[in-house]
Amino acid sequence: MKCSRYRTHLLRFASQPGMIATSILFAAAALSSQLSGLTAVACAADSPAASETAAKPTSPFLRLLRDDRKSPVALETSIVRYRPAKESDASWSVDLVAALHIGEKSYYAQLNRELASYDAVLYELVADDKRNVPQPGESGGNHPLSLFQNAMKDMLGLEFQLKGIDYTRKNMVHADMSPEEFAQSMQDRGESVPSMFLRMLGYAMAHQDQSNDALSAGQFLMALLDKNRALAMKRIMAEEFANSDGSLAALDGPNGSTLIVGRNQVALRVLREQKDAGRKTMAIFYGAGHMPDMQKRLHDDFGLEPVSTRWLVAWDLKSPPMMEKTPINGRKSSNKTAKPSR
């Protein structure tokens, strides 16, 4: 009974957008950095703000925005719209709404507004269809995996997707595996959590020397000791995400992984069902790591091509404004030069 209950918790943990992949990626990168003996020092979290510039994203679904001093100021995810290549069949569209499993409250508020506009939103969650719809504010209880999630949330000063997104709207459509399907697919592919970790670790070590921005033990320690620890840790993890393009592909075996390919196949099967039911505007709301494979399948199986891209701020990485000093006379002073009035 305990083993069965633990497996259920583990599958729920895995189903939360990108949680297991993110944890594996972060742990693998940290371990490979220590094995490589890298000890670079992290940049301070209170670097001055400057004008923002969008570096060319390594992925069409996730990018790191920097200022002109090369300091990170935002981690962003995209909404990419796809339409049929044939003009005669342009009456319907699909948006790939890439998501991060933890983000700013404002990020999930914006996503809620975006998702409300579609005929159907296909969402990810390894759960029995309709019986385990996440409720507003759901936390996950006192299971050790949920406690780990809460620790991450508190450390980074962010919110969880399951808590921030309203899954109870009528246009929300479950488009993922059940726990039984997930377990069976992993068994059929000969997969396990340890095997996924080893694949990610191998990828991280193989690519460690190719990036000067790779996570090091020194960076991690400096972030923990920073006066603004949440911001410093967010910047470190944002750099890892930005440099991890293609890393989730390391999870794939000869027939693709359950975590990415298997679940994407389920989502696109539901997409076809929704299209056949007459839905015209649809969104696939999945973790950013799913989207490269999802895009390929939209092209190959549905004949869709990307037509537009919009970006949302998932993590705000800007330094907080300097506190205004209050002189002895009690009046606030400001270092800003007032603009002349007209």
Would you kindly state where each structural domain of the chain is located, as residue ranges?
Answer: 2-43+52-316
Q: What is the pLDDT of residue 141?
A: 56
Q: What is the pLDDT of residue 134?
A: 76
Cβ neighbors of 264 (< 8 A, separation 6 or more) are 286, 290, 293, 294, 297
d(CA 124, CA 161): 11
Q: What is the pLDDT of residue 304?
A: 96
Q: Which two tokens stand for residue 112?
A: 């809620």
Is residue 28 a contact partner of residue 204, using CB atoms and an 8 Å limit? yes
Q: What is the pLDDT of residue 10?
A: 43
Specify whether the backbone of 80 is left (phi greater than 0), alpha (psi in -120 to 50) or beta. beta
Helix orientation angle between 144-156 and 2-15, rounded to the nearest 10 degrees: 30
Is residue 287 a contact partner of residue 21, using CB atoms and an 8 Å limit? yes
Q: What is the pLDDT of residues 213-269, one digit of tens each?
A: 445 667 777 877 788 888 988 998 888 777 765 566 666 656 678 888 999 999 999
Q: What is the pLDDT of residue 216?
A: 62
Helix orientation angle between 229-242 and 144-156, rounded to the nearest 10 degrees: 100
Q: Which two tokens stand for residue 304?
A: 């869709």
Q: What is the pLDDT of residue 19?
A: 47
Using pLDDT thresholds of 50, 70 and 90, give the confidence band for residue 202: confident
**272 closest CA partner among 131, 153, 147, 94:** 94
Handedness of CA 43, 48, 51, 52 (dihedral sign): positive
Mean pLDDT (whole number) for 147-162: 81
- Look at residue 131 and give its three-state secondary structure: coil
d(CA 232, CA 219): 9
Q: What is the pLDDT of residue 139?
A: 59
Share of the chain above pLDDT 70, in %: 63
Q: What is the pLDDT of residues 29-81, one digit of tens each?
A: 443 333 333 222 233 333 334 455 555 556 899 999 999 999 999 999 999 99
Q: What is the pLDDT of residue 51?
A: 52
Q: What is the pLDDT of residues 284-339, one digit of tens each?
A: 999 998 999 999 999 999 999 999 999 999 999 998 876 444 454 545 444 444 44
pTM of the model: 0.75
